[in-house]
Amino acid sequence: MQSPVAAAVEASPIAPLETLSEHACCGGVQGFYRHASAAIGLPMRFGVYRPPQALQDPTVALPTLVWLAGLTCTEETFAIKAGAQRLAAELGLLLVTPDTSPRHTGIAAADASWDLGHGAGFYLDASQAPWNAHWRMETYLMHELPALLAAHFPFSVDRCSVFGHSMGGHGALTLALRHPGRFRSVSAFAPIAAPLHAAWGVQAFSAYLGDDRAAWEAHDATALVQAGRRLPALLIDQGLADKFLLEHQLQPERFETACHAAGQALILRRHAGYDHSYYFIASFIEDHLRFHAAALQAG
């Protein structure tokens, strides 16, 4: 019997897909694609790594892992820097890397700062002008992109997990909290875990959501856990030499306290000497892929 999530995805409209490039990689194919997005109102790009198992039998849907990247990143960043394809090939995981925001929007303010606008979608639907014209990343990620993946790739909506870095870690946590049952497992590297209390979050929420603090809380992982939302299996890694940790942009301790008080299971690992870069991500990416593979292959 088809799950409600799968039925909703199947019913979504499907846009034609343009292949930008494809590259042989670890026995599979790393590709980058573009399509006209109805949710965003502009073209959107994303990447997909198809492991060797997808080439052997493209009719079999594979367990899927969606990576949400951080500020200034694109759909290419993780694929180029993390070194995840080799283990994904071993584990038979489809890797999906969406872009981090709309592009070429014509909004002057979108290029005024590196941490707001282009490359800084914060994985939410904006309610305030001018951002609400195109900044609908939550709708895009939770509805439109899964339908596109299901139509063109061996994507399993019912065996899907999510992880991310920094702003993308925030996105992984909040999307999983806001959409119970959509993801088998969640993990993050150095997530913005309490954006209500961080300069990045205050700036983004003020611009995208206005002055309504209740709207802010609906996109803050710590506040959502405090309000009773829950996550499946959860892993977070944090480098202790991360300058954004020291600047109080990330605040994992707030999230950890909220999880402990709420009875939310959490593995939070702190690593001396590691910073906020992809060198940190590459050092522990194997742990995250194996963590998600265990959840995706169970049951």
Q: How far is residue 34's CA from residue 123's CA, in Å, rounded to a whole number?
A: 18
> Among 129, 64, 21, which Cα is nearest to 293's?
64
CA gap 44, 75 in Å, rounded? 10
Could you tell me how many helices (H) and strands (E) the chain has, helices first?
A: 13, 9
Helix (H, G, I), strand (E, B) or coil at 250: coil
CA distance linking residue 179 with residue 75, whole number of Å: 23
Distance CA 98, CA 87 (A): 20
Residue 229 CA to residue 250 CA, distance in Å, equals 20
Instruction: Return the beta strands (E) in the chain as ranges.
Output: 18-25, 28-36, 43-50, 62-68, 94-98, 155-165, 185-189, 233-239, 267-271
Report the alpha-carbon distance of residue 47 to residue 24 in Å, rounded: 14
Residues catalogued as catalytic: 166, 242, 276
Report the candidate in 95, 72, 71 with the shortest Cα–Cα distance to residue 83: 95
Q: Residue 176: what residue type?
A: A
